Each structure stands twice: as C-alpha cells, then as structure tokens.
Amino acid sequence: MNFIEEGLALFEVSFTTQEVLSEILSYKDNVSNIINHLIEQKGLLQMEVGNKNLLLALNKNLGKGEASIIALALERGDITYVILDDYTARKTAMRLGLKVKGTLGIIRKLYDLNKISYPALQLYEELHSIGFRVKEEIFREIFKGYL
C-alpha cells in the first residue's frame, strides 16, 4: 500500500512534527521508508512546535504525536486540516476549532478520484495487519460502494 504520497498530494503543503516522525520512523518498515523519502524530497515539511507549554498541556490527555500536530496547527493558524485518527485527539482538535481529516477519509477521497483501485476488503485486512484499528462497521460505512 503506497497511498501516502497520493494522499499528501491532495494538499498544497503538508507538515509534520518530530514527535510524529519519531513514532513512524521507529518501525523501520515500508511506511517509514516512504516518509523518509518524502522528507528528503520536501514533499513533507518537518516543523517544530514553538509553544512547548501548549504541547505539554495537550500531551496530558493525548499522545505526543497527536498533541504536537494540534499544537502546531493552533500555533501556525494557517493549517487547513489536521490528519488525526485517534478519537480523543480528533474531538480535542475539533473542540479547539481545527478541521480534521482521518486516514480513511483521505483514502476514500483517493478512491473517489480514481487515484487508487485497491480492493477495499483487502485494504481493511492489511490495515488491521499493521495495527491500524478501526471497527469493521465504520470501515464499511466509509467505503460503501467500494466493497
């Protein structure tokens, strides 16, 4: 599955933080290789959160990656969407006035644009095999019409 580059191409500019990168790159898998390539090619810009107090406050209830992305978006003020899959992080971001997209929503958009034609049930199985947690009912609702 290489939906990462296609998904990021939907956005004019894509940012991430060191906290997110530390999580992703610790796995040393295909995803981390793609992310490294995107960083090298400037397709994914790494930014640092300046407001460490906000980061620490958010990190009390959220993971470091999620907290850093929300803090960066609030700090910059010009980020259109934050990409979050964690339910608590999504709710926190929306409560703070941010627009949220999830991985599955982005992949669904790629299906709708005919950018990918990957069997949806196989996608579900592969996502589960790499530890991506999503209830089957939710997956089926997002991808109805492609199952």
Residue-wise pLDDT tens digits, 121-134:
999 998 888 888 89
Residue 11 banded pLDDT, cuts 50, 70, 90: confident
Task: Report the distance separating Cα 147 and Cα 144, nearest Å.
Answer: 6
CATH of the domain at 78: 3.40.50.1010
The answer on pLDDT for 3 being more than 80 is no
26: three-class secondary structure by DSSP: coil
The verdict on residue 15 lying in a domain is: yes
Amino acid at 117: S
Phi, psi angles (nearest 5°) of residue 85: -110, -25
The verdict on residue 50 lying in a domain is: yes
The verdict on residue 146 lying in a domain is: no
Residue 2 banded pLDDT, cuts 50, 70, 90: low
| Domains in the chain, number | 1
The answer on pLDDT for 37 being more than 90 is no
Which residue in the block uniquely carries the two structure tokens 């803090």? 71
The verdict on residue 19 lying in a domain is: yes
The verdict on residue 109 lying in a domain is: no
The verdict on residue 121 lying in a domain is: no
* Size of the chain, expressed as the number of residues it contains: 147
The verdict on residue 67 lying in a domain is: yes
Question: Could you list the residue range(s) of the whole structural domain that residue 93 is in?
Answer: 4-103
Give yes or no for a contact between 49 and 72, defined as CB atoms under 8 angstroms apart: yes
Angle among Cα 3, 120, 84 to the nearest 5 degrees reads 50
Kindly state the helix (H) or strand (E) to which residue 123 belongs, with its residue range.
Answer: helix 120-129
The verdict on residue 34 lying in a domain is: yes
Give yes or no for a contact between 116 and 6, defined as CB atoms under 8 angstroms apart: yes
Task: Report the distance separating Cα 49 and Cα 81, nearest Å.
Answer: 16
Q: Model pTM?
A: 0.87
Residues 6+ apart with CB under 8 A from 68: 17, 18, 19, 20, 49, 55
